[in-house]
Amino acid sequence: MARKISIAAIISLMFITMSCTDPYTGGDQPIANRTSPTTYYPGGLISADASETTIIETVIKKRMEYKESLEALKYFYNKVGNNDKYHNASTELNALNTMPQYEYLDVLDIEGFDPVQLIPEADFLYESGLRDKKDAEKYGVGFANKNLYRSALSKFKDLLRNYRKSDKIDDAAFEAGEIYENLKDYSTAFDYYEKVYTWNSEAPYPARLKAARILDRFMHNYSEALPLYEKGIEIEGRYNKYYELVKNAEERVAVLKKTVDQ
């Protein structure tokens, strides 16, 4: 009987002690108050009072570093002939390229674009993205590999985000526009085409003609499509390889002049 009383007393004492102790938070210290301007998030990378843009840019930078590290690891294991680890790195890289990566800040909203400099790192990103785009369309645009499209877009956007003075920004914007158009995201495609001739009025791409076609066919904005068609015919019509686009534009101009004038 005395033993039972003793055990009951110990248990009661334990409950009393626990009730006087701060609840467990997963570490030795209580969770920091993240509303304090002097507090840092886990890892110490970002201040709690950092702006939205700062946080987003850090996310984007870390994504890029992660991807580059996996690509380097994949290359290394291929070079030394370690097939198992090469497979692991490839699988992780493929998963990264196919997982959702949301655009919290539209790259086209960033300021400071001016295609005036030859930047080797930007050229590398552009050529790599172009290869992914071509590989994606290996069996035709209608059967495009969407994972490779995503990889190409990621590289084009990394170029735009990190090398805003590169002479490849208009090239990257045009290629991104074509991908979005092929994916039937016409509004985004138009935004990218528009940037091409905004940044470089003499860019050797049919950006105006394609943007006008989107305004015409999919947005039914005929009043804006008409002058854009006409400008595209004037500027981009200099290139014989755009003959079909120019011919279509001329036909639509004839029709739209009657429609818009009414």
Which pLDDT tens digit goes with each residue over 66-112? 888 988 999 899 999 999 999 999 998 888 877 777 666 678 888 89
pTM value surpassing 0.75? no
Beta bridge mates, 40: 47
Residue pair 245/210 in contact (Cβ under 8 Å)? The answer is yes
Which pLDDT tens digit goes with each residue over 178-228? 999 999 999 999 999 999 999 999 999 999 999 999 999 999 999 999 999
Name the CATH code of domain 110-195 (choices 1.25.40, 1.20.950, 1.10.3470, 1.20.5): 1.25.40
Distance CA 48, CA 97 (A): 29
> Closest Cα to residue 190, out of 220, 161, 154?
220
